[in-house]
Every structure is written in C-alpha cells, then in structure tokens.
Chain A
Amino acid sequence: MSAPAPVLEARGLSKSFGGIEVLRGIDLTLMPGEVHAVIGENGAGKSTLMKLLSGHLAPSGGEIRLDGARVAFAGPVAAEALGIVLVHQEILLAPDLTVAQNIYLGREIRRGPFVDDPTMNAGAAEAVAALGAALDPRIAVRRLSIAQRQLVQIARALLGTRRVVIFDEPTASLTPRETEALLGVIREIRAGGAAVLYISHRLPEVKAIADQVTVLRDGALVTTRAAAGLDPHAMAELMVGRDVSKLYPDRAPPETAAPVLEVEDFDVPGFVSGARFRLGRGEILGFAGLVGAGRTELMEGIAGLRPGRGRLRLRGAPVRFHDARESQRAGVVYLSEDRKGKGLLLGQDLTVNLTLAALARFTRAGLVDRGREAAALDRAIADFDIRARSRALDAGQLSGGNQQKLLLAKMMLLEPEVVIIDEPTRGIDIGTKEQIYRWIAALAASGKSVIVVSSEMPELIGICDRVLVMRGGRIVGELAGARMTETEIAVLATGASEKEAAMMAESA
C-alpha cells in the first residue's frame, strides 16, 4: 500500500460565538480507510468541530481542505454533495414515514410526477442490508427500536458515495449489543475505503474501533496519537488533565453527617433500578455518570416529577411525593438541568419567575403583594448577583449564567432543606461557575444538604464531599477523599476497567 493522501484536513480551525472562542487552532488529518476518534469532556469543542467539518457551521478562522484543496461549505447539503456526511447524535427521522420514505426524504426517486415507491423500497432494503441488518422498508419508523432507527439514519447518511462519515456519539442511546452491531458497521465502512470520524464518551468503545485518537480540551487540541498506544485510562487522563483548583472554594466536609434524606431500593421504571444512598446534613453529594445513566431520572423520581417506586425517608420519616408541590412543601427542591424548558418561563419577567414556586409566601388576603415581590427581587439581585439591563426584561433575555442564578434564587425562596441541582454550570462561563460553586458551598455550610448532578468531573471533585457514580440506571460506586479522581470516576462511569480486561484478552 503506497502512502495514501489525506481525504479531509483541518488546519488551524477556530470558531467563536459572540466573542467567546469555543475552538481554537485545531489541526486534524483524516486518512481514507481509517477510523479517527475525537474525545474530550463536555464542552471541549467536539461537536463544534464536527459541525465545522460537515458544513453545519462556518469556521471563524483556519481552513478545511478536501483532497488537498481548500473548501468552504455553504451548508450541510453542500458538504454532503462532496461526500462528507454527519450522522447526528439525536434521531432526526420522521416517525410516521416508512423506512424507505425516510431514507429517500428530500431526494425521492420519481417516475413522472409520482414518487416511485417500489424502486425506493428496493433501494432502502439494499441500503439497510448493506449495514448487516434486515428491515422491512415499508414499516413506519415509529415502530422501530432506537437502535434500528439509528441504523436507518446511518443508511440514509450512507446512501450514495461517501468519502467521510462523521458519527457524533452514535452509541449514546444504544445497548451494548446494539453498540457491537454498530461498530461492525463502522468497520465495514472503513473497509470500503471511507474515512470515519468518531466521537464518543465511551472510551472502551474508542479503544475498540479507533485507529487514531485526537484529544480536545477547552477548545484546544491536546494531542493526536495512534490508538494502539493508548488504553482507556490514559485517554481519560488526557481528557481531564488540567489545573482547575482555584475555581473551587475551600471546604471542610461535615464531621458527623446525620442523614437527612435516605433512599432505598428506589426504581424509576425504564431508567433507574435499585438506587440506594444517604444524604447527610450539610453534605454536598455528587452524582456522576454518562448522559443517559439515569441520574436526572433518579432525581426527578425522588422529587415526585416522574413515577418512582421505593423507600424515601426525610429526617427519618418515610415520605412519598406525587408531584413537585409535595416535595417542595417537604423541603426538597429540584433544579432542572433544562433551565429553558423546565426551569424558567422565558416569556415572563424576572419577578414572575422569581416568585412562581413560592407564590403562597407573597399573597396577602388572596392577592399577590407586589411590594413584597419587588423587595424579593431586590434581595435576589443582590444575593445572587443577577445582572440584567432592566428589571422589566423577560427571563429569556438573560444570559445562561444569570438564568441559572435566577433559577437558584427562585428555588431558594422555598427555603428548602435538600437542594438537588442538575448540571449547575452547563453552558455557563467560568466566572459565573465560580460564583455558583461558592454559593453551593455556603449553602451546605449553613446546614442544608445538596445533591449536585453533573457531567463535569472536575466540578464534582472540586465541590463534593462524596461522589456516587451511575451507569446504566444503577449506582455502581461511591468515591470519597483521595479516591475521588477523574480517572476513577471515568473508569466507573464508562466501565472501562472491565472492558479493558476483556479487550486485552481479545488481542492476546
């Protein structure tokens, strides 16, 4: 085999959003017949890189070369025309259309003025069969499993000649068996001579499939190495290795943590089974795990926001919450990770949002006391350093950081005992992160109990007294003190240690 030329190259690729640089100076070389993995923490810039390479976004700096020639994509359609296709993480199919209709959506084969269903059905069946699966092309996508839908999406992406196929976390929603099947498909694509760019959090999977591994951190490229010389442990270390100690407040764990919340044998059907943990007074307890590990669902189950089964004890007394109203009255509040969808009314002003959950505290003789509301907003603005051009703004006009502060202020009006914060700093700049960390520490110091659910491992290590790690709907381990490291968390969350052993046996 003579030295092949690269298919796609990135040279000094950068991207900024509104003055904030999320990706800077990335060099990447994709060879035909090669699987190139890109790994990194959440927010490291992986998805942005993929979108630049597939024409979904235009770079702010640097260049993209296809077969050595500089290209600028007008959009994803233009990139697809050149043989570069992105397989999205989410399923983007029309559920009520058939497999064949989805595969050919927007590029239907016609016979005269009519669509040629027989030809498209045959073509779709062939495309699915090429991926090693058998699906009736006339079946509605709604009736397929998630993995089958992923297959249809891949079949759609691969229809026609493909030179570069980019997978964005394709296995996030797949079971291990389905993942195995998908990896087989990727190997076939590679064998066919196309280049594959593969993003995943699951390091064992990366180890199993990748030829090259590129590590991103904070929007910059850390290294590109041959996968052969890396094990999942080493990958995890490369992903997270940075000094962030100044970000987190100093804090002494409480000495005797009397249990405030006790959870036993707690199931959230379809998401969590057999969860069991204790939360002490004045404690900050972290929940780590991959997306889809069931952390959010467990917390929503506890707070009565989705159906759950099991035993809950609050300050020793058994409790059971059917909705958020009940849990909030008992002193347990949950701050959703989805601030825009579940946390704040984006079209309403700051006051309405602030007092919404605790409105009963602001009524006198049945009427809302606007004076007290205004005073509460003053306090919240001062206590949480909420920055807004005007008090009359709608919540949707605030920045992400200020929205999070407003949500915190809103829930704190309920004067809770137990505060569950889901992804407290997602999409928030580093300055505000630091404020939120200090505030969480102060909350615990005042005797409240806090649960932090986060996908950012440094943040869990930086502020939590203990971290519980979930995988596949179960709590698989507890880390505290010196064992609370990113590597340990990553190993537990991805199951790397087990699979690593298995792979070593395989390669022997």
Chain B
Amino acid sequence: MSETPVASRPARRSWRDLDLRAVAPFVALAALILFGASLNPNFVSVDNLLNVLSRSAFIAIIAVGATFVISAGGLDLSVGSMSAFVAGTMILFINAAPVGGDVALIALAMTMALVTGALCGLANGLFVTLGRLEPFIVTLGTMGIFRALTVWLAEGGSIAVRSQEVRAAYRPVYFGELWGVPAPVIVILVVALLGAVILNRTAFGRHVIAVGSNEEVARYSGIPVGRVRTLTYVIQGVCVAIAVLVYVPRLGSATATTGLMWELQAITAVVIGGTALRGGVGRIWGTVCGALILELIGNIMVLSDLVSEYLIGAVQGAIIIVAMLVQRALSRGR
C-alpha cells in the first residue's frame, strides 16, 4: 500500500499550502490597481479609492449574502428588485411615520427595512424548500414581483425622502466618516467579517457548505437541509436590507432604476471571488474582492481615455473573462 499514516500533528502551514484559488482574486485586484495607476495617476489617490470602495458597498454587501445562497447550491436573482422594494418601503415609512425625533425615526425605519428584507428572503427560501421549486424560477418570479411593487408604490416615478431634516440626519450613513474611513466601507468590513465568521467558523456555515457540496450526504449526516437552505435566503434578504440602509442616504430616493442588474453584478462578484456556482465552496473575502474589482473596472474606464464611451461594456466584459482565466490558470497548479 502506497499510502502512509499521516503525521499525528498538523504540519506547519507553509506557503506551498497556500490555496491559489483563494488568493487569485486578490492577485487580480492588485493587477487591476496597477493597471489603473498606469493610466491615470489620480486613480490611486486616496479620495478616488475611497469613492470606489464606498460605491462598491451595495454590491459587496449583497454579494456577501449571495455567497451564502450560492455556496449552499442556490441562486437568488431577485436581489436587485428586492433592493428597490426595501428602499421604497423604507422611504414611504419615513415619509408616513408620525414618530418624532430624526434619529429615532431613522432607527425605526432601519429596523423595518431589515425585517422587510428578511421576510422577502424568507419568502424566496420557503418557495424553494417547501415548494420544491427551482431557485432560478422562484427568484425570477419574485424579481418581477418586487420590481413591479416598487414601481406601483412609486406610481411610476421616484420615491424620495420628503423631510429635508431627516435627509440631513440620515446622510452621514453614506457620506460620513469614522477615523477617516467612509461609513460604507466600515459597513462592508463589518458585514464581511460577520459573514466570514458565520460561514467559516459556525456549525451553520459548515452545514451551508455541506448542503452545497452534496445534499444527500448532508441529509444522511442529520443536517436539516431545508432549514439551512431557507436560512441562506433569509441572510441574503438581510444583506440586501443592509445595502439599502447605506443606499437610501446617498440619493435619498428609490426609483424604478434602483438595483437594476444588481443581481448579475452580485453573482459575478461571487464567482470572481472564487465561490463555485455549483455550490460547496464559499469565500466571503473573495466575494468582497470581486465586488471591488467590478467597481474598479467601471472607474478605470471613466478615468482613462482608453476607449470610446460606446465600447466600455465590451472592455468590462473582456476584463472579467480575463480575470476568470487567470484564476483558472492559477488553480490548475493545485
């Protein structure tokens, strides 16, 4: 027999053990930053990088939730519409609420948005698990529902925070800073840290990966597969709501274009980050990195005079494909 008993103590981790697949998105990010800096020195200015980091908050936060759903072998196409819906209802609540005191009102509205997001996610999760429907179909359906409800609530126009005082009080949640770090960046870090702890360090996170790896093995191991799956959608809903909490203070409004195509951007960020679409692998920090890469590509395109404005979409698509090819090449060495 060629196999030998393993050492009884784990060997020290050396750089050889480094999982290249996990590192690849960060390599791609670094390469992109160098590329951007070579095109326009303003690109690496602190202000610009903080702008881009802040702007990536919505996709990054939503994509953290999507990492859970996708790791468990699911898919959620409704997140963009859900963002618009949660933002719309939150603003209508702010406009209608009789509660006095801006901070109390905002806190209440935030709580309400989180609950709304969780409920939207729960609905997706229950249709998938109890209804035994394909996640693609369920969330395609709710995508239409959330979008239409938003447009209906807005009567086709936009829903804006009416009170300028509330607007001013809430504004710092996007534009404010803490120790020089923009608030959205702090939110990304907190959400990603929580997500990473839950996915990598808790029994639930382990169960998510197990369900995504092989649902049957999970079932035979006594894991409540339906509950785990449903909870991933609830987490996704809560992440959407958190993204909305940061989105609403930016422009103070929700429109029919709010969250358009966010679902595809979130899924792209997750995949660029090294999470497998078939499930069983989840990388939260990779996902955040993927969201940054997406936002940086757009930023570089505007900052450089590389191509005509008509061709930007093509260059973005090409960069994403190249990034994935690099990643595939790195992981093949394993």
Chain A residues proximal to chain B, CB less than 8 Å:
305, 323-325, 327-329, 334, 336, 338, 341-348, 352, 355-357, 359-360, 362-363, 366-368, 374, 378, 381-382, 385-392, 399, 402, 410, 431
Contacts and interface: CB of A to CB of B under 8 A. Distances in A.
Interface stretch (B108-116, B168-176, B198-206): B198-206
A324 B210 CA distance: 15
Contacts of A305: 219-220
Question: Chain A interface mostly helix, strand, loop or mixed?
Answer: mixed
Given A352-B209, A368-B201, A389 B223 contact: no
A420 to B, nearest CB: 12
Given A388-B3, A392-B17, A382 B222 contact: no
A341 B209 CA distance: 16
B217 A347 contact: no
Interface string B159-174: 0000000000000000
Interface in B183-226: 197, 201-203, 205-207, 209-210, 213-214, 216-224
Nearest to A341: B216
Nearest to A300: B220
B131 interface: no
B332 interface: no
A343 B223 contact: no
A382 B220 CA distance: 25
Contacts of B203: 359-360, 362-363, 366, 368
B6 interface: yes
20 contacts: A325-B224, A345-B213, A345-B217, A345-B280, A347-B280, A348-B209, A352-B210, A360-B203, A363-B202, A366-B202, A368-B201, A368-B202, A374-B10, A378-B9, A381-B5, A381-B6, A387-B4, A390-B6, A391-B11, A431-B1
B4 A389 contact: yes
Nearest to B3: A387
A324 B197 CA distance: 27
Contacts of B223: 325, 356-357
Nearest to B215: A342
A433 B238 CA distance: 50
Question: Which residue, of A329, A355, A367, A382, has the highest number of chain B Cβ atoms within 10 A?
Answer: A367
A323 to B, nearest CB: 7
Given A347-B280, A367-B201, A388-B6, 20 more contacts: A327-B222, A341-B214, A342-B214, A344-B217, A345-B209, A345-B213, A346-B214, A348-B209, A352-B210, A356-B218, A357-B223, A360-B203, A363-B203, A378-B8, A381-B5, A386-B5, A390-B11, A391-B6, A391-B7, A410-B221
Given A352-B206, A387-B3, A399-B3, A342 B280 contact: no
Interface of B: 1, 3-11, 17, 197, 201-203, 205-207, 209-210, 213-214, 216-224, 280-281
A345 B220 CA distance: 11
Contacts of B3: 387-389, 399, 402
Can you list the 8 inter-chain pairs with the closest CB atoms, starting with the nearest? A325-B222, A387-B3, A324-B222, A357-B221, A345-B213, A359-B203, A328-B222, A342-B220
A343 B219 contact: no
A374 B6 CA distance: 13
B275 to A, nearest CB: 13
Contacts of A391: 6-7, 10-11
A305 B203 CA distance: 22
Nearest to A335: B220
Most B Cβ at <10 Å: residue of A324, A329, A382:
A324
Contacts of B213: 345-348
A345 B201 CA distance: 18
A328 B222 CA distance: 7
B5 A387 contact: yes
A343 B209 contact: no
Nearest to B226: A323
Given A359-B207, A387-B1, A324 B6 contact: no
B239 to A, nearest CB: 19
A397 B321 CA distance: 30
B11 to A, nearest CB: 8
B222 A357 contact: yes
Contacts of A356: 206, 210, 217-218, 221, 223
B5 A323 contact: no
Contacts of B201: 367-368
B202 A324 contact: no
Contact of A334 (B6, B10, B209, B220): B220
A382 B201 CA distance: 26
Contacts of B9: 378
A154 to B, nearest CB: 32
Contacts of A402: 3
A361 to B, nearest CB: 10
